[in-house]
Structure 1
């Protein structure tokens, strides 16, 4: 992975992280990517009984996971990898950008409390910028691509139609590059990646790139925001 300003790789190095933390303490908090106000999808998946699943990729999984852990109606949001094989679903390998994986978040939600369409609206609005090709903010490579891995034909149909709707409405200055495809497999990431935003709120990468996403969720989707996150360790215990 390329070493670059505010990148996750460089900030995981302890010495660099300490120096960056001091710099960020003196700088105002600022979102690397601004949220975009967008309309809800014109069509949605009908509410059904039982927990539903969709896997979303939009850059570093720390921030995407954090957003959906603060989304009411989501019963779990787990960071992991999709798009490659089980054999190379490891952070060190995925980070090379050669495994076919995308950093992803498995979102399980209660359709009686939040719709699939609302999940997509939050994903496109505050969780990431869907117009960035094979990158997101400071991170670049195919592992940071924008993608929706669906678990039903109805989910895929709604996602495809929503992208056409948003592009037609020109709510973004550039076309959406998000790829939509059926989920083949999801592999949970290492335990140290889970609940990362909640456990490390003062980490410079989180403070600069991801905490503003939570504030945008609270501001733009107040009815869907929950203050207490649904953490992986709480669900698994």
Structure 2
């Protein structure tokens, strides 16, 4: 994420409009209800992980959301290295959720609607580079199919002014998910008045509450509470 200098104050009235959201239809193809385990996981990348983590921490059915790195090797899974854009890593969030409360497809609806702009590949807000790319790291054939079909559905419906460019990447060794440093966890909750958070991330949470109120939880589930 870009460096910001704190100048005092909270979120201005204009900053709430900084992060646009798009009202999207639910996925036509999703996991069948009532047949899943009690815990499943998803790994999603969509720009700075501070905001993406915060959105899913405020999502009903999410049990944990951890900021980290995906797409590169363990040796380079460090914030001081991924900023070069040459490690293969993307800033990503590992989401553990109860599939009886929220489906994988519903998580993707939130991801495409309020968590980031899926029509931009290597840029989100003021941040640019491959480490900020839009990417779904699928963990099995079913996740891949749900994502592929939903992207096709959204493109066919022309809900965005441009095509969805989100990459679909298998999450398999050695390209696993690696948690980020402790100071990145729960960052938006711990620093609500930080200018970057106020301008780019708090509006994402507000958009979730407004556009998908049935999936919104007011009290976030935090990594540090584990």
TM-score range, shorter chain: over 0.9
Match of 2:57 in 1: 69
Match of 1:44 in 2: 30
Task: Work out the CA distance in 2 between the residues paired with 1:174 and 1:109.
Answer: 30
Match of 1:136 in 2: 124
Alignment of 1:173-212 (within 5 A): 173-184=161-172, 185-212=176-203
| Total equivalences in the alignment | 221
Alignment of 1:145-184 (within 5 A): 145-184=133-172
Structure 1 unmatched runs, 5+? 1-7, 12-16
The answer as to 2:211 corresponding to 1:220 is yes
State the TM-score, normalized to the length of structure 1.
0.90
Residues 42, 144 of structure 1: alpha-carbon distance in 2 compared, 3 angstrom cutoff: same
Runs of 4+ in 1 over 4 A off after TM superposition: 24-27
Residue by residue, what CA displacement relative to the aligned partner does 1:144-188 show, whole Å, maximum 9, x if unpaired?
000001111111001001001100100000010101121120000
Residues 164, 25 of structure 1: alpha-carbon distance in 2 compared, 3 angstrom cutoff: closer
Structure that is richer in helix per residue = 1
The answer as to 2:70 corresponding to 1:82 is yes
Task: Work out the CA distance in 1 between the residues paired with 2:27 and 2:6.
Answer: 43
Match of 1:107 in 2: 95
Task: Work out the CA distance in 2 between the residues paired with 1:211 and 1:91.
Answer: 23
Residue by residue, what CA displacement relative to the aligned partner does 1:83-125 show, whole Å, maximum 9, x if unpaired?
0000010001101111000000001110011111110000000
Shift of 1:49: 1.6
Q: Secondary structure of the residue that 1:10 maps to in structure 2?
A: coil
Shift of 1:27: 6.1
Task: Work out the CA distance in 2 between the residues paired with 1:135 and 1:44.
Answer: 28
Match of 2:19 in 1: 33
Shift of 1:136: 0.5
Match of 1:58 in 2: 46
Match of 1:4 in 2: none
State the TM-score, normalized to the length of structure 2.
0.94
Bigger mean CA offset, 31-40 vs 103-112: 31-40
Task: Work out the CA distance in 1 between the residues paired with 2:119 and 2:11.
Answer: 30
What is the CA RMSD across the aligned residues, in angstroms?
A: 1.3
